[in-house]
């Protein structure tokens, strides 16, 4: 649509002026079609001129009843009714008389009407007779503070004997009156009580310009913002709008008959109605007859939308809010099937900020300058509106966003995983047997769902927070019954037990587990499936009264079906099942994965290149992304191959670009051209790559940096075998390259391999020989095994180095440090429980951007002659910040200076406070690692975790950047990290 400028529209100051203008035009197309009674296929049609006359008549009648406005500031009158000719006429007549109109939904509870009425200082209510009982109760609640008037019926204003004189809304200065309130809508009340949202004449006139220019059937009620605006868009565009008859039920049969009678070009409806129509071939055909089908009000379930689009229906989503008017649609080229991805309207796009919330979720923020925005709610960004609506970007189409829910809709489980309720609820609501579905589980181990049976009443909007409150007792009881599972009665031998568990893992959990000895985590066991497996074991097997000890971590610690079967057996008979002997596993795996073939003989007459081709793993993580940025920007690097794991249908390069963007890293065109992202599996000998690509890499790669590793402290050692196999394959590849010497290989290890070295002993830059010096986590011991394998490979001629890295923190520029790691969670606990632990720990944190620079220097890409003969190539580099600080003496005071309020207490007391704190991870994030903190700080174990000192002589010699790392405290980086977390 064009701007309000043509045909005298630019001179309009009031909404009523638009109706008067269209009513006075020579050509008079029909713009409104209504039915009456309970008919759904016999329409009465109205031109703008006829509507203008009916509105004028109604204004005269209302004036005779005592409704008139004096003074320049309009008074407010509330209207309660449903969608029909009378409803529209009364609203427009009140507006013509000079009132601002509060349009209230009949779906509210009686007490909920109070706030909109109070906030608008509204003392008069015009209502439809069918809502008289609601009005009676409302008058009782308001103690006669509300004057009520029945709504005019058609026979009241479509008759003879009414004065013909034109009533024209006027003001001493109409241009100045244009910003006055025309209509007041209200919020749903999801955060408490419904709040009034004021729409000025000027903003409404700007809003009404946006339409498709098609005849339309609308099944949304007129008290819905989009439904109300659609009528005025029809007036503006001189197009015909059909009203669905709300005197009949909204059933598939009635909607189909209405579509057949009206034959509109456009259907505007809600996903629920689409679901009704999609149940039958007749409904699908009725939709096919429309040029365009739009949905509003909520997200359309993917399964439903995909089904309609596959049937040839052009489905378009609309994002329009009461607070801001139309924002985005999924209107697109006919061949584009991405119906669920919205594109912001051109006049909206400059005022949109999609604010990152977590990995792939962004909140829509509307910025200062958007004309249709009538509400602001932010102090940090003045005059901006944080919508709390969440979106995810299209993997390949720029500026295309899919609605995934609301910030207050997401159900965050105890382990920090987030469940998006809307797709689940939407799918279940498609059933005609279901009135409503609500997912719950905030702060719990697993989610649940409440399903309400349909008794034929309207499917309204459920307010999530209120539902949780009303049914809190029921929800608590569900989880209590789940936790108090009665043990099963099966008493089987280990092989038969293993067969049952294996069958459950394959059929119910859908794990790709090959045998009872396969690693469950590698087969796809996540935290939710681990809980399901624990429940299955407890419900089916006799555990000798030891059922409560079978928690989800047992599935990680005993990482195969066979080990779980042994646990079940020994629990029943009362024998102790010793943990797997890590020492024997370490020795066995070091031997197994150190069987390298000798380096390939140097290729004759190999051309020497001054530029490197690099394999870099882990680019979707923070460290890998920063290393990639350093390498790609280096003139000494020609190509960076980035292996990434396959994820859905998102292409590999998109995942790499997204990883860089999350860290606010960017590459220019030349640097980007160096990056080649490949779906691969380094656990396979050929990395799962095409033969041609793998062959080119063998001929050209001269440097490998392995920065990918699973960081999960819940996993036992057995779950890391695939990671170690991948490491072994990369080392063999470095030996097999067809060049004058093996490719340089750098492995990103961890100081956790030596975290239990006595604090009186320095950790040298050499291999760890005492396994007890490694942390007891599976993660640390898998890194230790990797170091030992690399040591053996070096003896065979591998040009390998171990990068033993300390605590990585956010970058020094933006302060981006994921708030899901242990240390950030501890620090953030100050906000939730007002205390922090007084740890006796010395910290040598290293910002990730400085670490990436150090690794680039240690790879010698800028100094090929540094170790020309490789005879003095260091095997181990310790990479920690040479400038240390103390947690309690230095960091806690710095946090006080940064404005964080807390009380320092002993670690064991802090754990107790954490245990008693809020169980909702969105409010108390540290609760997600409660078991880890209990293990580490719950007892009198502080000294056990004091960090030994790590020597960095070789590292500082070969990497000048290490000595330039700033002091985290004095450089203000801590304050920067805290600011980023607070923003999230």
**What tens digit of pLDDT does each residue of 11-42 get?**
788 899 999 999 999 999 999 999 988 888 88
**What tens digit of pLDDT does each residue of 314-338 get?**
999 988 776 677 889 999 998 899 9
- DSSP, res 337: -
Structure tokens at 93: 């007549």
Q: How many CB atoms lie within 10 A of CB 119?
A: 18
CA distances from 816 to 157, 811, 824, 849 (A): 65, 6, 11, 10
Q: What pLDDT was estimated at residue 408?
A: 66
Quickly state the pLDDT bin for 857 (edges 50, 70, 90). Answer: very high
What is the C-alpha to C-alpha distance for residues 618 and 476, in angstroms, rounded to an integer?
41
Q: What pLDDT was estimated at residue 940?
A: 46
Residue 436 in any domain: the answer is yes
Mean pLDDT of 551-574: 72
Q: What pLDDT was estimated at residue 639?
A: 94
Mean pLDDT of 500-518: 87
CB distance 642 to 629 below 8 Å: no
Residue 563 in any domain: the answer is yes
520 and 566: one domain?
yes
Q: At what angle do helices 527-540 and 561-573 cross, to 10 degrees?
A: 40
What is the C-alpha to C-alpha distance for residues 24 and 410, in angstroms, rounded to an integer?
51
What is the C-alpha to C-alpha distance for residues 259 and 261, in angstroms, rounded to an integer?
5
First to last CA, the chain: 38
Mean pLDDT of 103-118: 87
What is the C-alpha to C-alpha distance for residues 19 and 520, in angstroms, rounded to an integer?
68
Number of residues assigned to the chain: 984
User: Would the pLDDT of 576 be above 70?
Assistant: no
Residue 543 in any domain: the answer is yes
Mean pLDDT of 864-871: 50
Q: Which of 483, 510, 530 is the last residue of a domain?
A: 483
**What tens digit of pLDDT does each residue of 582-636 get?**
677 888 899 999 999 877 666 555 555 668 999 999 999 999 999 999 999 999 9
627, β-bridge pairs: none
User: Would the pLDDT of 459 be above 50?
Assistant: no
Structure tokens at 559: 């990482």
Residue 528 in any domain: the answer is yes
510 and 572: one domain?
yes
Mean pLDDT of 928-943: 66
Q: Which of 483, 518, 544 is the last residue of a domain?
A: 483
Question: What's the mean per-residue pLDDT of the chain?
Answer: 84
User: Would the pLDDT of 383 be above 90?
Assistant: no
User: Would the pLDDT of 291 be above 70?
Assistant: yes
CA atoms within 13 A on the CB side of 13: 15
462 and 499: one domain?
no
Question: Burial of 652 by CB count in 10 Å (0-12 exposed, 13-18 middle, 19+ buried)?
Answer: buried
What is the C-alpha to C-alpha distance for residues 965 and 655, in angstroms, rounded to an integer?
30
What is the C-alpha to C-alpha distance for residues 772 and 756, in angstroms, rounded to an integer?
7
Q: What pLDDT was estimated at residue 412?
A: 63
Mean pLDDT of 90-118: 90
455 and 516: one domain?
no
Q: What pLDDT was estimated at residue 458?
A: 47
**What tens digit of pLDDT does each residue of 355-372 get?**
887 767 888 998 888 876
453 and 521: one domain?
no
Residue 498 in any domain: the answer is yes
What is the C-alpha to C-alpha distance for residues 16 and 5, in angstroms, rounded to an integer?
17
What is the C-alpha to C-alpha distance for residues 354 and 363, in angstroms, rounded to an integer?
5
Q: How many CB atoms lie within 10 A of CB 821?
A: 15
Residue 507 in any domain: the answer is yes
What is the C-alpha to C-alpha distance for residues 962 and 950, in angstroms, rounded to an integer?
13
Q: What pLDDT was estimated at residue 454?
A: 76
Choose among 519, 387, 32: nearest CA to 239.
Answer: 32
467 and 512: one domain?
no
Q: How many CB atoms lie within 10 A of CB 483?
A: 10
User: Would the pLDDT of 578 be above 50?
Assistant: no
Q: What pLDDT was estimated at residue 955?
A: 92
CB distance 419 to 447 below 8 Å: yes
Report the relative pairing of strands 361-366 and 385-393 from DSSP bridges.
antiparallel
Structure tokens at 612: 């490197």
463 and 427: one domain?
yes
Structure tokens at 669: 């065109």
- Which range has the worst mean pLDDT, 75-84, 268-277, 740-749, 778-787? 268-277
Structure tokens at 952: 């960095």
What is the C-alpha to C-alpha distance for residues 809 and 100, in angstroms, rounded to an integer?
55
Structure tokens at 133: 């009982």
Q: Which of 464, 483, 502 is the last residue of a domain?
A: 483
What percentage of the chain reaches a pLDDT higher than 90? 39
Query: DSSP letters of 574-622?
Result: T---PPP-HHHHHHHHHHHTT-PPPPPPPPTTPPP-SSEEEEEE-TTSH
What is the C-alpha to C-alpha distance for residues 743 and 601, in angstroms, rounded to an integer?
13
Residue ranges making up the domain that contains 547: 494-579
Q: What pLDDT was estimated at residue 371?
A: 72
CA distances from 191 to 194, 438, 734 (A): 8, 16, 58
**Nearby residues of 301 by Cβ (< 8 Å), 6 or more positions away:** 271, 275, 423, 426, 427, 430
User: Would the pLDDT of 133 be above 60?
Assistant: yes
What is the C-alpha to C-alpha distance for residues 722 and 720, in angstroms, rounded to an integer?
6
Choose among 641, 633, 874, 656: nearest CA to 737.
Answer: 641
Choose among 248, 277, 92, 236: nearest CA to 167.
Answer: 92
475 and 520: one domain?
no
Residue 620 in any domain: the answer is no
Contacts 24+ apart (CB under 8 A), 526-531: 527/415, 527/417, 527/552, 527/714, 528/413, 528/417, 528/446, 530/555, 530/556, 531/445, 531/446
Q: What pLDDT was estimated at residue 465?
A: 63
**Helix, strand, coil abundance in the chain, percent, nearest 5:** 40, 15, 45
**Nearby residues of 476 by Cβ (< 8 Å), 6 or more positions away:** none
471 and 505: one domain?
no
User: Would the pLDDT of 645 be above 70?
Assistant: yes
Structure tokens at 503: 């069958």
Residue 441 in any domain: the answer is yes
What is the C-alpha to C-alpha distance for residues 259 and 401, in angstroms, rounded to an integer?
31
Quickly state the pLDDT bin for 544 (edges 50, 70, 90). Answer: confident
463 and 521: one domain?
no
Report the relative pairing of strands 100-104 and 181-186 from DSSP bridges.
parallel
Q: What pLDDT was estimated at residue 22?
A: 94
**What tens digit of pLDDT does each residue of 199-235 get?**
888 888 887 887 888 999 999 889 888 888 899 999 9
413 and 477: one domain?
yes
Q: What pLDDT was estimated at residue 201?
A: 86
Count how many domains the chain has: 2
**What tens digit of pLDDT does each residue of 824-835 get?**
999 989 988 999
**Nearby residues of 403 by Cβ (< 8 Å), 6 or more positions away:** 299, 317, 319, 340, 342, 389, 390, 391
What is the C-alpha to C-alpha distance for residues 821 and 204, in angstroms, rounded to an integer?
47
470 and 498: one domain?
no
Report the relative pairing of strands 124-127 and 147-150 from DSSP bridges.
parallel
269, β-bridge pairs: 295
User: Would the pLDDT of 516 be above 90?
Assistant: no
Residue 564 sits in a domain whose CATH number is 1.10.1200.10
Q: How many CB atoms lie within 10 A of CB 516?
A: 19
Task: Look at the block and give the residue holding tokens 């569900």.
Answer: 478
**What tens digit of pLDDT does each residue of 151-202 get?**
999 999 999 889 888 888 765 455 554 568 889 988 766 545 788 888 888 8
Report the relative pairing of strands 341-344 and 325-329 from DSSP bridges.
antiparallel
CB distance 626 to 367 below 8 Å: no
**Nearby residues of 922 by Cβ (< 8 Å), 6 or more positions away:** 410, 412, 442
Mean pLDDT of 236-247: 93
């Amino acid at each position: 649509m064009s701007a309000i400028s043509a045909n005298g529209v630019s001179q309009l100051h009031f909404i009523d002026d638009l109706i008067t203008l269209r009513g006075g035009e020579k050509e008079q197309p029909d713009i409104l079609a209504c039915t009456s009674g309970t008919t759904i296929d016999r329409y009465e049609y109205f031109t703008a001129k006829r509507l203008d006359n009916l509105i004028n008549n109604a204004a005269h009648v209302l004036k005779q009843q005592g409704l008139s406005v004096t003074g320049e500031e309009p008074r407010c009158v509330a209207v309660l009714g449903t969608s029909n000719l009378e409803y529209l006429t009364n609203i427009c007549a009140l507006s013509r008389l000079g009132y601002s109109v509060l349009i209230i939904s009949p779906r509210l509870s009686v007490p909920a009407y109070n706030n909109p009425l109070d906030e608008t200082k509204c003392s008069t209510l015009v209502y439809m007779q069918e809502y008289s009982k609601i009005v009676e109760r409302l008058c009782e609640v308001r103690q006669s503070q509300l004057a009520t008037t029945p709504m005019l019926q058609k026979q009241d204003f479509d008759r003879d004997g009414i004065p013909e004189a034109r009533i024209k809304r006027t003001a001493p200065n109409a241009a100045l009156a244009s910003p006055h309130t025309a209509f007041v809508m209200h919020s749903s009340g999801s955060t408490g009580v419904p709040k009034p949202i004021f729409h000025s004449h000027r903003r409404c006139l700007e809003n009404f310009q946006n339409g498709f220019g098609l005849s339309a059937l609308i099944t949304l009620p007129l008290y819905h913002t989009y439904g109300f605006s659609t009528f005025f868009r029809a007036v503006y565009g001189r197009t015909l709008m059909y009203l669905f008859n709300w005197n009949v039920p909204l059933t598939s049969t009635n909607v189909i008959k209405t579509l057949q009678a009206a034959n509109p070009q456009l259907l505007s409806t809600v996903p629920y109605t689409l679901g009704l129509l999609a149940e039958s071939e007749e409904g699908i055909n009725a939709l096919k007859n429309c040029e365009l089908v739009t949905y509003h009000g909520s997200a359309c379930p993917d399964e439903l939308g995909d089904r309609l689009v596959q049937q040839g229906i052009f489905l378009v989503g609309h994002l329009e809010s009461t607070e801001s008017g139309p924002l985005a649609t999924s209107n697109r080229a006919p061949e584009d099937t991405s119906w669920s991805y919205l594109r912001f309207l051109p006049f909206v796009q400059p005022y949109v900020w999609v604010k990152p919330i977590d990995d792939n979720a962004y909140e829509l923020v509307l910025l200062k300058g958007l004309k249709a925005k009538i509400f602001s709610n932010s102090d940090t960004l003045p005059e901006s509106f944080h919508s709390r609506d969440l979106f995810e970007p299209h993997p390949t189409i720029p500026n295309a966003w899919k609605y995934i829910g609301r910030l207050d809709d997401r159900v965050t489980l105890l382990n920090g995983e987030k469940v998006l309720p809307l797709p689940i609820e939407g799918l279940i609501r498609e059933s005609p047997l279901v009135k409503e579905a609500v997912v719950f589980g905030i702060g719990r181990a697993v989610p649940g769902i409440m399903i309400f049976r349909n008794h034929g009443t309207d499917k309204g909007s459920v307010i999530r927070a209120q539902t949780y409150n009303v049914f809190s007792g029921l929800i608590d009881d569900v989880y209590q019954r789940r936790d108090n599972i009665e043990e099963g009665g099966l008493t089987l031998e280990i092989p038969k037990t293993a067969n049952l568990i294996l069958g459950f893992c394959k059929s119910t959990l859908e794990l790709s587990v090959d045998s009872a000895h396969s690693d469950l985590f590698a087969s796809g066991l996540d935290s939710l499936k681990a809980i399901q497996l624990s429940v299955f074991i407890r419900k089916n097997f006799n555990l000798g009264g030891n059922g409560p000890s079978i928690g989800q971590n047992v599935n990680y610690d005993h990482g195969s079906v066979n080990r779980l079967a042994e646990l079940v057996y020994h629990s029943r008979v009362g024998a102790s099942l010793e943990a797997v002997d890590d020492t024997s596993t370490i020795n066995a795996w070091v031997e197994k994965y150190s069987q390298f073939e000798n380096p390939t003989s140097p290729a004759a007459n190999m051309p020497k290149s001054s530029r490197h081709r690099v394999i870099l793993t882990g680019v979707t993580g923070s460290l890998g992304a920063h290393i990639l940025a350093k390498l790609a920007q280096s003139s000494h690097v020609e190509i960076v191959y980035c292996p990434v794991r396959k994820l859905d249908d998102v292409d590999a390069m998109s995942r790499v670009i997204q990883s860089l963007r999350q860290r606010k890293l960017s590459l220019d065109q030349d640097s980007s051209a160096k990056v080649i992202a490949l779906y691969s599996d380094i656990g396979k000998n050929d990395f799962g790559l095409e033969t041609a690509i793998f062959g080119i890499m063998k001929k050209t790669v001269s440097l490998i940096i392995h920065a990918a590793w699973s960081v999960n402290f819940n996993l036992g050692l057995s779950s890391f075998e695939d990671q170690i196999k991948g490491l072994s394959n990369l080392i063999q590849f470095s030996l097999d390259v067809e060049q004058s010497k093996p490719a340089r290989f750098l492995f990103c290890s961890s100081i956790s391999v030596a975290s239990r070295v006595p604090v009186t002993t320095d950790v040298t830059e050499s291999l760890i020989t005492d396994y007890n010096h490694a942390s007891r986590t599976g993660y640390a011991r898998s890194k230790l095994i990797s170091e030992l394998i690399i040591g053996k490979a070096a003896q065979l001629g591998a040009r390998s180095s171990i990068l033993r890295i300390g605590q990585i923190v956010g970058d020094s520029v933006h302060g981006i440090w994921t708030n899901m790691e242990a240390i950030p969670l501890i620090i953030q606990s100050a906000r939730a429980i007002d205390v922090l632990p007084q740890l006796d720990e010395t910290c040598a944190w290293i910002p990730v951007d400085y670490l990436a620079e150090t690794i680039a220097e240690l790879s010698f890409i800028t100094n090929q002659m540094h170790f020309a003969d490789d005879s003095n190539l260091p095997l181990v580099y310790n990479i920690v910040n040479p400038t240390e600080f103390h947690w309690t003496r230095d960091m806690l005071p710095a946090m006080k200076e940064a404005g964080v309020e807390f009380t320092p207490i002993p670690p064991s007391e802090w754990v107790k406070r954490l245990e008693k704190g809020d169980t909702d991870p969105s409010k108390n994030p540290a609760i997600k690692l409660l078991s880890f903190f209990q293990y580490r700080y719950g007892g009198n174990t502080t000294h056990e975790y004091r960090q030994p000192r790590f020597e960095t002589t070789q590292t500082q010699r070969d990497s000048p950047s290490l000595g330039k790392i700033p002091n985290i405290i004095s450089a203000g980086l801590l304050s920067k990290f805290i600011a980023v977390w607070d923003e999230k």
